Amino acid sequence: MIRNKHKFAFLLCMLLMTTTVFGASEAEYKKLAKTWTLNADGSQEFRYDMELTLFTHTAMNGTYGESFIVYNPQYQELKINSSYTKQKDGTIIKTPDNAFVEVLPRNAADAPAYNHLKEMVVVHTGLELGATIYLDYTVTSKPGYLPEVDIFEELLQSSPVKEYTLTIVTPEVKELAYTLTNNPAKASVKRSGGTCTTSWALRNLPASSRAPFVYVKNGDVPFLAATTYASEGEALATLLKQFNPSGDPQLTTLAESLTEGEKKDEDKLEAILEYTTNHIANNGLTLDQTGYRLRPADAVMSTAYGTEVEKANLLAGLLDGAGFKAEPMATYQAYADKGLALKAVDQLFVSCMVNGELYLFSTSSTHRPQTVNFDRTPLFSLQTGKPVAIAVPQDYQIKSDIAVRFKDGKVTTSTKESVGKELMPYFTTGNSENEQTAPLKVENGYATISLPDAGYGFSHLPYGYLNSQRKENLLIPRPVNEVYTYTIECPENMELRTPETDKTIRNAAGSLTISVKKNGHTATVTRSLELNKQLYTSAEYKELRQLLTEWSDINGKTLLFSVR
């Protein structure tokens, strides 16, 4: 009995240790403060102040061993106010001069026009378990470089935050529009000496989720959007005024060259999109990293690379030069009643109405954008500054009829497939027929085959392998409606050993059917999946996962045969 008690105590201790290890965070922000200041002369200051205590070797040697600060020395000055480490016993280790390393930002490496940008790497020294990193710096921007306050901040950090302060200081004559979501903190507004100070004090924030597919556009991620721009339109106008004007002769000449010999409008569009997509490289510098500036189209053409907004300018100019009415568009990372400006922009597109069809071109892909998201994050026109209504497309259906035959030790699949145009790249058809033949591998009198499905099918996306539980919303990229019918003809020496089945699941998330039916030497397999919507809450996740897990199960796509 005593021995059993000791065993029980030991197991209990191990359980508590395991709970501590897996439940505790790698680190904790004791304090995090961000302050944005717009001065009367148009200059701006951003101050960052943190106190971060480390709890694990991963945090010490990997996650938080360095801090990174990107800035533009032509217009901005970086000042390190303080940087040191307080070890667990109270010893102060100041960051030495050689631990401040200036490098080229990764996204500027292949963009010579942006090689003047700098990234300060602060290498934190004296780290140990229980040590606290202190870092306080200020980035000051010259007047006019950042014309207005423009903030879009996700609030959750990679580790929990005990005390998080967000402060915005503006001239009293400037009106600040803002939205803070998914957090109960209220703004404190104080006016003094011609300035207005708006601040939020947040406490005990959890760490950001490490679950896959967690995005601010899902609707449940806390964020702050704030700006002194009067509207989205005023902010977007600062980009549009940098675009090449309509009728630019150089763009017109190139557009005429690209479309030479093309008679159909669709062929002209395809030629222009092929050029901007495949001949102009994509540069990943964000709008805020370039100071919301863009190079003219001729510079983009001569260097053969461009940021997203630079390629949007080029694409719009070429379409205009070819005689099409092109309109640049932007969509936002999230929805907010107010406070959205340029920092919150998610993607840029160029729209073009041709022969009654609306084309919405990405700057980096020939695929159609997933416009069904725009009911939550509206599309805005850069020209009007107003949201643009986009009809929600319905043509996402995949229908495949597949015949499977066996002959001379080989398996042949003949497919007739219809794929909805919203899943296809522009200028391609979704109707196809193909036939493939492969050796049939027989081992110990048995053979298996995997049932093929459409390359655009949902099973090729990683949503079928998610965790059993989820606290966050899940936004899938598109609606799903797929039906596959397989007709398998077996020769005399083969017999389908996969048992007959007729599985149907219907729930609030959608429906699924998997059936196997035999009729002599002929078998018919039907697989279908339909998902009712795109956005699923954590309460709806269990039923969605049931469908996706079943759909992705390899056993439901594999047939077993005996071979004599």
Question: Residue 23: its pLDDT value, please?
Answer: 55
* pLDDT at res. 458: 93
Per-residue model confidence (pLDDT) at position 378: 81
Distance, in Å, from the CA atom of 507 to the CA atom of 539, rounded to the nearest integer, reads 13
Q: What angle do CA 355, 357, 360 make, to 5 degrees?
A: 125
pLDDT band with cut points at 50, 70 and 90 for residue 367: confident
- Mean pLDDT, residues 329-347: 95
Q: State the pLDDT at residue 373.
A: 66
Average pLDDT across the chain, whole number: 93
Three-state DSSP class for residue 516:
strand
pLDDT of residue 333: 93
Which residue bears the tokens 């296809």?
A: 424
pLDDT of residue 112: 97
Mean pLDDT on 526-549: 95
Concatenating the DSSP letter of every residue in 435-466 gives EEEEEPPEETTEEEEEPP--TTSGGGSGGGG-
- Judged against a pLDDT cut of 60, whether residue 19 lies above it is answered with no
- Hey, is 238 helix, strand or coil? helix
More confident: 406 or 356: 406
Assign 163 a pLDDT band (cuts: 50, 70, 90).
very high
Query: What's the whole-number mean pLDDT along residues 400-413?
Result: 96
Give residue 372's pLDDT: 59
Q: What domains, with CATH codes, occur in the chain?
A: 25-231 (2.60.40.3140), 236-388 (3.10.620.30), 397-563 (2.60.120.1130)
Q: Which residues, 6+ apart, have CB-to-CB distance to 281 below 8 Å?
A: 110, 304, 305, 306
CA distance 464 to 549: 5
When pLDDT is averaged across residues 222-243 and rounded to a whole number, the result is: 98
Looking at residue 375, its pLDDT comes to 66
Summarize pLDDT for 52-85 with one digit per residue, the tens: 999 999 999 999 999 999 999 999 999 999 999 9
What confidence score (pLDDT) does residue 18 get?
A: 38
Per residue in 114-141, pLDDT (tens digit) is 999 999 999 999 999 999 999 999 999 9
**DSSP symbol at 511:** E
